[in-house]
Amino acid sequence: MIISVLLLSALCFVGLKTQCPEPSSLKDAEGNKLCARLFEDSHYYNEQSCSGQYLDVYPMDDVPIVPIGWNNRISSLVVAPRCTLTAWSRSKKEGKKHKFSSGIQYRLKEVAQGLFGNWNDDISGYYCEQAQCLRQPPTVPLTPLGLTPTAPSFIIRMIKRA
Ligand SMILES: [Ca+2]
């Protein structure tokens, strides 16, 4: 009896797919890099969390008022590497504030808000920041101006005259 129960639970476990995406694989349907993905539901089994509908957040998205239908609804979320999602409990960046760094947050109800509250169904605004180092490095300009930081001033004067 115990063995069959164990077998059954093992089979069930195999059948369950992890729903929370890996932070490093966060992309929208078109393959664009995301800053975060916010989910409607959570579950006490990690494997079944990040469920329901979801809202995609792009790097540098500044959303003081969440889209219609999403206020106080988010229950789990995933933040991409080198990204930080700042959330507010009230719209227009008011109320309580929390910074979510990269990773999977299976249950927002486990994230404390103040002494007694939690963040489940309580996000009303957000801002997703991406670390500077992920941006394209600036291409070194080959114009005379590009020499300014290192070239002695007489060289710059020569270039300007030429
Ligand atoms: Ca919810």
Render pLDDT for 77-112 as a digit per residue (tens, 0 to 9): 999 999 999 999 999 999 999 999 999 999 999 999
Report domain extents, the chain. 17-132
User: Distance, CA 75 to ligand 1 centroid (Å)?
Assistant: 4
pTM of the full predicted structure?
A: 0.72
12-55 tens-digit pLDDT: 444 445 589 999 999 999 999 999 999 999 999 999 999 999 99
Dihedrals phi, psi of 21, to nearest 5 degrees: -70, 155
Residues, CB within 5 angstroms of ligand 1 (ion)? 73, 75, 121
Contacts of 70 (CB under 8 A, 6+ apart): 38, 55
Tokens at residue 82, please?
């080198």
Superfamily of domain covering 17-132: Crystallins (2.60.20.10)
